[in-house]
A and B are shown apart, each in its own frame.
Chain A
Amino acid sequence: MSEHEHHILPFKLYLKIFLSLVLFTFITVWVAQFNFGSLNTLIAMIVATIKATLVALYFMHLKYDDKTNAVCLLAGVFFLVVMFAFIAIDVASRIPLESTL
């Protein structure tokens, strides 16, 4: 069995990732001030996803690991999106009904 698995990353890379994460946190806070209406949640989600991928790829070694680990992460997220999408379809397409009594 080749000893490829214990990937050791340089200290600098960890530092760079950490600093960019803090930077993105500033961006999240900064972008939250402008009111884009319902778009706000979407933008916040996008920035948070960028930060999450950074943590997952480098800190959690997903980049250097066997691809099945990444599939686990993505499967979880995918079925969450499916759940959200179908419930949102239902909630959005309900026809509100008023009582005429």
Chain B
Amino acid sequence: MSYAAGSNYLNHEKGLWSWLTTLDHKRIGIMYMISVFTFFFIGGVFAMLMRLELFDPGPLFAAQTYNQMMTYHGAIMTFMVIIPGIPAFIGNFTLPLLIGAKDVAFPRVNLLSWYCLMVGAAISFATLFFAGVDTGWTFYTPYSIQTSGTVLMVLGAFVMGFSSILTGLNFIVTVHKLRAPGMTFFRMPLMVWALYSTAVIQVLATPVLAITLLLLAFEKMFGVGIFDPNLGGDPVMFQHFFWFYSHPAVYIMILPAMGIISELITTFSRKTIFGYRAIAFSSIGIAAVSFFVWGHHMFVSGQSSFAGIIFSFITMLVGVPTAIKTFNWVATMYRGSIQLKSPMLYALGFLFLFTIGGVTGIMLATLAADVHFHDTYFVVAHFHYVMVGGTLMAIMGGVYYWLPKMFGKMYNEFGAQLSFLFIFCGFNITFFPQFLLGSAGMPRRYHEYLPEFTSLNKISSIGAWTIGFGFLIALAVIIHCILKGEKAPQNPWGGKTLEWTHADSPPIHENFATTPVVEAGPYEYGR
């Protein structure tokens, strides 16, 4: 395949139809970017409305409306933004480039996975036009089988689950079978380790979600009585089935983010990673142990205390590899040559917020403390620190890091750093007060709260709108970069991984003119 000068995967074929039927992993990655960003802004609008309601104790929207907003914010952000977010969008684009492959193992399955996400999202949004779902993104029975709209939303989540399974399947086979010659497992970049362990979780956990949602739909339609207490079923059984998927799902969210952070910190400290094997093995370790800890969501839900004790113990174990990774990143920066570009700013923001999220996670894993904190705003603050502070910071860092490679154009550095400032400060103003609200006992999913919680909620709402404003600036920076950014060099950051050293920006349709041969590890700074 000879390539005319300047031909790349973007102008390789023209027209919308060439995009909608593309098999090129890079194009599918861009299509995922557009879908994930759109869903993120829809979910974000719901979040802004929720904070509007919670600005003061009095009712603004009807109770039912707020509960629906809370449900859609949760469902959109988890199923449509943060689970497909990094693996499908950044992962699809970068995985073949990082391991020196021409494409993922099954290009058509890759395209099918994008359509599963869009069809599933369409079905889920259809519930907005009917009665709307107000069960929370967890669909706990028996409330979810008494209220309306659950079946359609559950069907949507079921279809979106396939998108996650197919992406995971694709990545596992790609990493096993399509690595460039010379790239042994321990010469793979840590981003690939992270995507690989995420894919393993996606493949092993999502099918259980599929059967759980199917049983929930049958419960609602035919009253099969497995989860319905009036027919002898057990709502705690539903929670077991649901969280068996949903806890590994939170590791689907954070593991790829850790992969991006490993890339960003090494490149912008211009120093080889500290403890490559420790980070690689803790990725796999977290993926494995994540299937043993789901019960810490159910300490007070009627689960037996003996089971609670076992789950709490194992949750402490899963905390150790996460802590090891964080220490390794900080150790990588020791005696490095740190350049504070915006991807690095987001990586540092990740370290700051993820550490706070991590330590509060340990508080929630402690049995006696969780009894007090469960289902209060302490939990809301914890998981936002880990998800927004962790995964979203990594997504923004990853986007700015790979934007020159994706579109061959540099973004406006000042605009990016400005948006970081708003997002980072707004984030802390929003969610740090929620720790205090939670420990003071304010339960979550309340549309009206007692007057004593007013001041902290006011601060939190103001912070939320700051984050919203920050993301608007970020969107403007990204769109400006795609349309009018000036030409980016092949390796703007001095990265040592294959996509910087061998592929040009934006890469050609087949990624590499000649298949690269790998002789050394991925981060050969100062060798």
Contact = CB atoms under 8 A, between A and B. Distances in A.
Interface of A: 68, 75-76, 79, 82-83, 86-87, 89-95
Nearest to B310: A89
A82 B307 contact: no
A94 B204 contact: no
Contact of B204 (A76, A87, A90, A92): A76
By Cβ-Cβ distance, the 9 closest A-B pairs, closest first, are: A90-B307, A93-B306, A93-B304, A94-B304, A87-B240, A90-B303, A89-B307, A90-B304, A79-B204
A87 B237 contact: yes
B293 to A, nearest CB: 9
Interface centre among A68, A91, A92 (most CB of B within 10 A): A91
B488 interface: no
Contact of B292 (A86, A94, A95): A86
Interface string B296-308: 0000001111110
Interface of B: 176, 204, 208, 236-237, 240, 244, 291-292, 294-295, 302-307, 310-311
A82 B292 contact: yes
A86 B295 contact: yes
Contacts of B208: 83
B291 A79 contact: yes
A90 B292 contact: no
Given A76-B204, A83-B240, A93-B306, 5 more contacts: A83-B291, A89-B306, A89-B310, A93-B305, A94-B302
Contact of A68 (B176, B240, B305, B306): B176
B295 A90 contact: yes
22 contacts: A68-B176, A76-B204, A79-B204, A82-B291, A83-B208, A83-B244, A83-B291, A86-B295, A86-B307, A86-B311, A87-B240, A89-B304, A89-B306, A89-B310, A90-B236, A90-B240, A90-B295, A91-B304, A93-B304, A93-B305, A93-B307, A95-B304
Interface centre among A83, A86, A93, A94 (most CB of B within 10 A): A86
A24 to B, nearest CB: 27
A54 B314 CA distance: 36
A93 B307 CA distance: 7
Contacts of B310: 86, 89
- Chain B interface helix/strand/loop/mixed: helix
A75 B237 CA distance: 23
Contacts of B303: 90, 94
Nearest to B298: A90
Contacts of B304: 89-95
B307 to A, nearest CB: 4
B59 to A, nearest CB: 37
A91 B204 CA distance: 23
Interface centre among A79, A90, A95 (most CB of B within 10 A): A90
Contacts of A86: 240, 292, 294-295, 307, 310-311
A21 B303 CA distance: 41
Given A86-B307, A89-B306, A90-B307, A75 B295 contact: no
B403 to A, nearest CB: 35
A7 B294 CA distance: 42
Contacts of A91: 304
A79 to B, nearest CB: 5
Nearest to A88: B307
Contacts of B295: 86, 90
Contacts of A95: 304
Contacts of B240: 83, 86-87, 90
Contacts of B311: 86
B300 to A, nearest CB: 13
A87 B236 CA distance: 10
Contacts of A94: 302-304
A89 B306 CA distance: 8
Nearest to A66: B176
Nearest to A89: B307
B307 A75 contact: no
Contacts of A89: 304, 306-307, 310
Interface centre among B176, B294, B304, B311 (most CB of A within 10 A): B304
A30 B9 CA distance: 64
A71 B86 CA distance: 26
Contacts of B176: 68
Contacts of B291: 79, 82-83
A89 B298 CA distance: 14
Nearest to A87: B240
Nearest to A90: B307
Interface centre among B204, B294, B302, B305 (most CB of A within 10 A): B204
Nearest to B200: A75
Nearest to B302: A94
Contacts of B204: 75-76, 79
A93 B302 CA distance: 11
Contacts of A87: 237, 240
A79 B245 CA distance: 11
Contacts of B294: 86
Contacts of A76: 204
